[in-house]
Amino acid sequence: GAQIQLYRECLGGSDCRFGQRNFLHSAVVSGPTRLQGADLVIPDLRGGFSYLIAALAAQGTSHVHGIDLINRGYENFMDKLVELGAKVELPSKGLA
């Protein structure tokens, strides 16, 4: 299984809105296995963003369904991923 360490301080190096409220809001996850490509269905905007980042980090191909939620929530997000080197293939209209 994975080792998960939770932190109350912001690990991002900058102040954040949760920094002084004693909330668990940062985590470091270390596991013995790498992420593998999978078929994923985006449940909502924030969860979907996490799914998409995991798919990008995974070995192999992931098929992510419901990507329209990400496109509505983050301006030009797919274009930005491609600029960073991600291989993104969107289905033809009518097939999604």
Query: Range of 61's domain?
Result: 35-96
| Structural domains of the chain, count | 2
Mark whether 54 and 73 lie in a shared domain.
yes
Greater pLDDT, 23 or 94: 23
Q: Are 28 and 56 within 8 A, CB to CB?
A: no
State yes or no: pLDDT of 59 exceeds 90: yes
Question: What mean pLDDT is predicted for residues 80-95?
Answer: 80
Q: For residue range 27-57, what is the model confidence (pLDDT) as tens digits?
A: 888 887 788 999 999 999 888 888 998 999 9
Q: Name the more confident of 92 and 19.
A: 92
Entry pTM: 0.64
pLDDT (0 to 100) of residue 61: 94
58 and 17 in one domain? no
- Measured from the Cβ of residue 81, the count of other Cβ atoms closer than 10 Å reads 17
